[in-house]
Structure 1
Amino acid sequence: MKKNILIIGAGGVAQVVAHKCAQHNDILGDLHIASRTLQKCESIIASVKEKKSMKVKGVFETHHLDAMDIKSTADLIRKTKSQIVINVGSAFLNMSVLSACIETGAAYIDTAIHEDPLKICETPPWYANYEWPRREECEARKVTAILGAGFDPGVVNAYAALAHHDYFDKISDIDIIDINAGSHGRWFATNFDPEINFREFTGQVWSWQDSKWVSNKMFEIGHEWDLPVVGRRNTYMTGHDEIHSLSKNLDVPNIRFWMGFGERYITVFNVLKNLGLLSEQPIKTAEGLEVVPLKVVKAVLPDPSSLAPDYTGKTCIGDLIKGEKDGKERELFIYNIADHKEAYLETGSQAISYTAGVPAVAAAILVALGDWDVKTMANVEELPPKPFLKKLDEMGLPTRIREGKEDKKLDL
């Protein structure tokens, strides 16, 4: 069994990961958290202690780390004797941290696709540009690397795999729907790193339709869904990580991602974009100062982790899946409902961080126990979905299935 965890990152998702690792440290062993900002790591551990999250008495230490430095990351993995690394830092770090894991033999888990700071919305399938070329290296060194083990990507991939294995003979459409029906009480803020958030929507929108890649503009295609708990919600088709792996690993001709946006977000986004304030290219002010517009916008917006105390409402994220079973048409919505206030009371983070962080720890537990210690690189849909979904149910993210008028909790 693998033991000892190194958490890389110190944002809202890292805080959830820290609490959930602490709640399962009888399995996971010694815990360590590292970031460029040591104070943030210390605040997270203080939160863990305040909420008495540690299941058994044990180690939980902070470390200063620039995770872009592969050698420093590898040295820290060796120093802490960590056998599993949960990377919930910036998506810019993925390949550096993965390299350190391959070098040391530690298992690697992340929650999002790698991003190059100089490129936005790359040619699909995006995973083929960075992670997938290192699969053979992982296999040769018997290194387990679980890609995209958050919620979306992550849990929604497991929902698709479950549907593929147990509910359909043939799937024609997967529509992944992500709704945040909560309110943080601020005039405007992003729910995670503004830089990553805005980058996600400034380029092309790639979807998988009729078994080929189709490009659209952001906010070009909208759709209203009638969903459990949160009701009718407007969404827009956007590009997203999981489409890039599901299109390869499942034989499904149509895979789309839909995210809910309020009118205020759309207005602010369009104004910032049209003014050039979402640009990552440096400019000079009249005083001769060189600044990056997007980083200035990030600096003036609220820190996403500061939103949690005032957040109310719920999220609804799931897969609407259409296809055939036993010669008949079938449609299922496999989903989860999370509550912002409940997430905050348990971990000090809001539900968006909660839904991203809990699955990463569930994946770590499955790796530690051997269920997912596959000693190669894998996306979540390539792994057995039921152990993962069962663990999520135990950890606070239960799965529900709606078919027609019947809506029930998934029995695992």
Structure 2
Amino acid sequence: MKKHVLIIGAGGVANVVAHKCAQNNDVLGDIHVASRTLGKCEAIVASVVRKTALKTAGKLQAHALDATDLEATKALIERTGARIVINVGSAFLNMSVLSACIATGAAYIDTAIHEDPLKICETPPWYANYEWKRREECRQRKVTAILGAGFDPGVVNAYARLAFDEYFDRVDSIDIIDINAGCHGRYFATNFDPEINFREFTGQVWSWQDRRWVSNKMFEVGREWDLPVVGRQKAYLTGHDEVHSLSQILKVPNVRFWMGFGDHYINVFTVLKNLGLLSEQPIKTAEGVEVVPLKVVKAVLPDPSSLAPSYTGLTCIGDLIKGVKDGRECEVFIYNLADHREAFEDVGSQGISYTAGVPAAAAAMLIARGDWDVGEMTHVEELPPLPFLQLLDRMGLPSRIRQGKIDQELLDARSERLLTE
């Protein structure tokens, strides 16, 4: 049984992970939070203490760490005795942190794909550019590395696996739909790291259609979806991590990702992009100072974690899956509704951070218990989904399923179905 967790990162998602690990430290043991800015780590520790989140008496410490420094990261893993590393820092850190885990034998979890700061929207499948090149090394060293264990990617991958195994004889399409129907009250802000957020939307939009990669421009393809509780919502075809694993691992002919955007967001984004302010390439000002426009925009926008106190409304994220069962065409929508206000009351973060952070903590628990400690690099859709979804139900992210006119708790529906089969 693996114990003791090192959380790398100190943003909104790291705050959620720390609180949820603390709430389950009887399973996870010591908890350490590390990032380049020690003060942010100390603020997370103080928040956990203030909410008396630790389930049992245990170690909770903050550390300063430049996670691009491989030797420093290895040393911190060894010094803390952490056997599980949850990487929720910048996506630019993934390969460095993964390397440290491979070297020390610690299990690795992340919530987003690795990115090169100077490259946007690389050749698909994205995982083949970095992570999958380390597969064999993880296997040889028996290091568990779970890629994309947030919500999307992560929980939506588990939904796909469950549907693939239990609800269909043949899956024809998976449409992942991510809607934030909440309101933060600011003129303009992003719900997670602005740099990563904008990078997702400035390159090509890759989707998997008819078993091949299809490229579109951002905001080129949109449609309305009729969703539970949040109603009709406009979403746009968007490039996203899980498309690049689900398409290759489950061999489904069509995998697409749709994200909701309001007209105001699109207008501001378009102006910033047309002015060149979303570029990741360095430029020089008239004074000879070298700056990266995207980093300047990030610096002037609100910190996503600062949105939490005033955030209201719901998120709705799920998989619309179509295929054939018993010779008949059918579809299911498996999803979660998360309340921004409830997330803030639980851990002091907004709902977007909550939906990404809770699953990462749940994945750590499954590694600690042995359920997901597989000793190789893997994606969530390659792992048993039921223990994950059961934990998420208990930890604050219950899942539901809509089949035709019937909408109910996913685990209740599954129990009823198994009883009648």
TM over 0.5: yes
Aligned to 1:362: 362
Partner of 1:58: 58
Q: How many angstroms does 1:9 deviate by?
A: 0.2
The one-letter code sitting in structure 1 at the alignment partner of 2:393 is D
Show the counterpart of 1:282.
282
Give the drift of 1:348.
Answer: 0.6
SS of 2:214's equivalent? strand
Letter paired with 1:22:
A
For residue 286 of structure 1, report the CA deviation from its aligned partner: 1.8
Identity across matched positions, percent: 76
Which aligned pairs between 1:315-326 and structure 2 lie closer than 5 A? 315-326=315-326
Q: Unpaired segments of 5 or more residues in structure 2?
A: 416-421
**Which letter maps to 1:245?**
S
Q: Find the counterpart in structure 2 of residue 198 from structure 1.
A: 198
What does the per-residue CA deviation read over 1:81-118, in whole Å, with 9 as the maximum and x for residues that have no partner?
Answer: 00000000000000000000000000000000000001
**1:244-279 alpha-carbon deviations (Å, 9 max, x no partner):** 000111121000000000001100111000000001
Note the alpha carbon deviations across 1:203-222, whole angstroms, 9 max, x for none.
Answer: 00000000000000000000
Q: Secondary structure at the match of 1:121?
A: coil
Q: In 1, distance between residues paired with 2:286 and 2:249? A: 51
Report the Cα offset of residue 292 of structure 1. Answer: 1.1
Inter-partner Cα distance in structure 2 for 1:345 and 1:43: 17
Q: State how far apart, in whole Å, the 2-side matches of 1:209 and 1:178 are.
A: 19
**Is 1:114 aligned with 2:114?**
yes
Q: Aligned partners of 2:194, 2:302: CA distance in 1, in Å?
A: 9
Structure 2 CA distance for aligned equivalents of residues 37 and 112 of structure 1: 21
* Secondary structure in structure 2 of the residue aligned to 1:117: coil
288-297 vs 301-310, which moves further: 288-297
SS at match of 2:120: coil
Aligned to 2:292: 292
Which 4+ runs in 1 deviate beyond 3 A? none
Q: Distance in 1 between matches of 2:98 and 2:290?
A: 32
Return the offset for 1:58. Answer: 0.6
Give CA-to-partner distance per residue, 1:359-387, whole Å, 9 cap, x none.
Answer: 00000000000000000000000000001
Q: Corresponding residue for 2:373?
A: 373
Question: How far is 1:390 from its partner?
Answer: 0.5
SS state at 1:173 partner: strand
> In the alignment, which residue of structure 2 is the partner of 1:386?
386
The separation in 1 between residues aligned to 2:15 and 2:273, in whole angstroms, is: 31
State the alpha-carbon separation in 2 of the partners of residues 131 and 108 from structure 1.
12
Q: Cα distance, 1:410 vs. partner? A: 1.2
Q: Map of 1:10-409 to 2, 5 A cutoff?
A: 10-409=10-409
Report the equivalent of 2:419. none
Equivalents in 2 of 1:282, 1:139: separation in Å?
A: 38
* Matched residue, 2:418: none
Alpha-carbon distance in structure 2 between the residues aligned to 1:13 and 1:40:
12
Output one character per residue of 1:7-55: Cα deviation in whole Å (capped at 9) or x when no partner: 0000000000000000000010011000000000000011101111000
Normalised to the residue count of structure 2, the TM-score between the two structures is 0.97
Report the secondary structure of 2:93's partner residue: helix
Aligned residue-pair number: 412
RMSD: 0.6
| 1:288 Cα offset (Å) | 2.0
**TM-score normalised by L of structure 1:** 0.99
Deviation of 1:397 after TM superposition, in Å, equals 0.4
Structure 1: segments with no counterpart, 5+ residues: none
In the alignment, the residues of structure 1 paired with residue 96 and residue 204 of structure 2 have an alpha-carbon distance, to the nearest angstrom, of: 26
Question: Counterparts of 1:110 and 1:286 in 2: how far apart (Å)?
Answer: 40
